[in-house]
Structure 1
Amino acid sequence: MDAHNRPPKLMDRVKATMRVKRYSPRTEKTYCYWIRYFIRFHGVRHPASMGAPEVKAFLEHLAVDRYVAAATQNQALNALVFLYRHILEQPLGEIGEFSRARRPRRLPVVLSHEEVMRVLGKLAGHMHLMGTLMYGSGLRLIETCRLRVRDIEIQGQIITVRAGKGDKDRTTLLPASCIPALQHQIATAEKQLVHRQQHGNVPVTLPHALDRKYPNAGVSLAWQWLFPASRPCFDNDGKIVLHHIHPSAVQRAVRNAMRAASLPKPGSCHTLRHSFATQLLSQGTDIRTVQELLGHKSVETTQIYTHVLGNAFAGVRSPLG
């Protein structure tokens, strides 16, 4: 059998199927990691020759020998369920009881408004704007990095989060105080687009093969990244494109700002989002509204913030005063 007629390799099939089903590049990378790890754990046996018992043994290994977190173990399980259901077309069925990684109950770290302002005061330029949006709009880090010009509605003061967690769209608040900085950022994106058109016409990366449907979308202002990377890169097809800023750069800037602000507790980008939620709840905002703004699938996820508010929750006071 020549190379052209040879069936695609297992991992190539996994990647192709995930792209057809519109999984994010991060999820694709993660699932491929766990599938390869599973195969190596069982002596490089083909997954088609294995099943539920081998998956159970692998998950036990992660919990008992590797001491992984509960979320990590669930991630590995999801990757293997995907493999058997969508690639091998032999669903695992009942795996049975196995050692679950412990899911410790930890309350999120939140900052007061004054503490957040101290942190933001240590950020500058577009990093300051990104930090402000995570706190003022409740955006996740990756959602902030992925903002495009078309997602900002200045007139209605709305930010549209597209393909957020769970591949769902939602809208959230656009703080009035962010408008001048956002207008400046959009103007900068337009200048950079004009410059790129004059020097090679490098397009931005687009979702779900949109560049084939709308060939000029990658060089239109609406589709430009609000926070682009500093230089172009190669995409999966070997084309030169411009991606959004890498999340690690923002994480590093926020971590340094929190250190410089001399906070009494550790924090991260997600701390700014946590603080957004607790500030809204302490002001009496309905928990369902906060759930929608945050993009939580379940209100139970949002309720964790009520446990860190203490006597500040919606103005409630103890009967003893």
Structure 2
Amino acid sequence: MDTHSKPPKLMDRVKATLRVKRYSLRTEKTYCYWIRFFIRFHGIRHPAGMGGSEVHAFLEHLAVERHVAAATQNQALNAIVFLYRHVLEQPLGDIGEFSRAKRPRRLPVVLSHEEVIRVLSQLSGPMHLMAALMYGAGLRVTEACRLRVWDIEFERQVLTVRSGKGDKDRTTLLPPSCMVSIQQRIAEAQNLLNRRLENGQVPVTLPHALDRKYPNAGLSLAWQWLFPSSKPCFVPFGKVVLHHIHTSAVQKSVRQAMRAANLPRPGSCHTLRHSFATQLLSRGTDIRTVQELLGHKSVETTQIYTHVLGSGFAGVRSPLE
């Protein structure tokens, strides 16, 4: 009998490497999708036997034949570069010049304060609070879903976003009008925690290796989700844990609320974040402050909102008027 264990399969190696480097589960799923797509595109050939020319052909196919967005093409390229650099540990070779998917310049859809209030009036319970925080604190939908009890500072009226886009932490505004609802969510989190402790101690998911360093952290109130999932789930490491509410559920509720509010143009969860930025700028808030509150790496990203403000930006009026 052969006692030697088989070497791990390629996709198992990809997942293991992503987890060692602490990539998010969402990124893991995305990278695995594009790596499988790349392999299938070249007839199930092993990537170790391919190189720059095959990557070039794949990226050309995405742009020319599938007409993917620029961000999608870049995502596929990042996944393949990760595969060669960190998993196969072999040089990718020269990819050469390939057709770049066009990145259209589009202005974000924003709502007036009155329109946002109409949308919020169509929501209730946790969905209302999450939408209010996306507008009142400039949160992304994933950031709202991932809020924990310890991220809230009532005295300072500060909300901390941990491991946001780019794995960066930042602080932003805690709207006073949301405080009572958040306190109710914390009370509900305590009650839910008590019930879980009585029925088998199902912990919440924790970042990175924190559950190994502090085994009981997932059973403390500070680490509980403000917006937990309705039932526990299995994570890739074989544990049963309580995760936060899924972003798709929030996105669906907000889209339905926007339709019910009879808005003149369609919107999404991100529209609420866009509206947060434009409202602050129209009221004279310094653009650098808005940049920090949004968590933008570059002020150029924040400047896009100055183009949708029209005559309301910094009190500027048309010379014709």
Q: TM-score, normalised by structure 1?
A: 0.98
2: CA distance, partners of 1:9 / 1:289 = 48
Q: How has the CA–CA distance of structure 1 residues 303 and 93 changed in structure 2, closer, same or farther, with 3 Å as cutoff? A: farther
Aligned to 1:158: 158
Aligned to 2:217: 217
Q: How does 1:204-283 map to 2 (within 5 A)?
A: 204-283=204-283
Aligned to 1:316: 316
Q: Does 1:106 align with 2:102?
A: no
Deviations 1:184-238 (A, max 9, x none): 1111101110011111111001110211100000110000000000011111122
Q: How does 1:50-199 map to 2 (within 5 A)?
A: 50-199=50-199
Q: Is the 8 A contact 2:53 2:94 kept in 1?
A: no
Sequence identity percentage: 79
SS at match of 1:35: helix
Aligned to 1:7: 7
Deviations 1:253-305 (A, max 9, x none): 10111011111110010000000000011111111111111111111111111
1: CA distance, partners of 2:305 / 2:237 = 43
Q: How has the CA–CA distance of structure 1 residues 95 and 160 changed in structure 2, closer, same or farther, with 3 Å as cutoff? A: same
Q: Is the 8 A contact 1:152 1:160 kept in 2?
A: yes
Aligned to 1:286: 286
The one-letter code of the counterpart of 2:307 is H
Q: Is the 8 A contact 1:81 1:91 kept in 2?
A: no
- Superposed displacement of residue 20, structure 1: 1.1
* TM-align CA RMSD: 1.2
The one-letter code of the counterpart of 2:259 is R
1: CA distance, partners of 2:66 / 2:185 = 45
Structure 1 runs of 4+ aligned residues shifted over 6 Å read none
Q: Is the 8 A contact 2:120 2:257 kept in 1?
A: yes
Q: Is the 8 A contact 1:285 1:314 kept in 2?
A: no
2: CA distance, partners of 1:297 / 1:99 = 27
1: CA distance, partners of 2:61 / 2:38 = 10
- Superposed displacement of residue 3, structure 1: 7.1
The one-letter code of the counterpart of 1:288 is R
Q: Is the 8 A contact 1:138 1:277 kept in 2?
A: yes
2: CA distance, partners of 1:226 / 1:4 = 47
2: CA distance, partners of 1:119 / 1:208 = 36
Structure 2 regions of 5+ residues with no counterpart? none
SS at match of 2:290: helix
SS at match of 2:267: coil
2: CA distance, partners of 1:166 / 1:318 = 39
Q: How has the CA–CA distance of structure 1 residues 275 and 153 changed in structure 2, closer, same or farther, with 3 Å as cutoff? A: same
Aligned to 2:201: 201
Deviations 1:150-169 (A, max 9, x none): 11111111111111001111
Aligned to 1:21: 21
- Superposed displacement of residue 314, structure 1: 1.8
Q: Does 1:305 align with 2:305?
A: yes
Q: Is the 8 A contact 1:149 1:226 kept in 2?
A: yes
The one-letter code of the counterpart of 2:271 is T
Structure 1 regions of 5+ residues with no counterpart? none
SS at match of 1:166: helix
Q: Is the 8 A contact 2:69 2:101 kept in 1?
A: yes
For these two proteins, the number of residue pairs brought into alignment is 321
Indicate the larger mover: 129-138 or 88-97.
Answer: 88-97
Q: How has the CA–CA distance of structure 1 residues 179 and 259 changed in structure 2, closer, same or farther, with 3 Å as cutoff? A: same
SS at match of 1:171: strand
SS at match of 1:106: coil
The one-letter code of the counterpart of 2:89 is E
Indicate the larger mover: 196-205 or 5-14.
Answer: 5-14
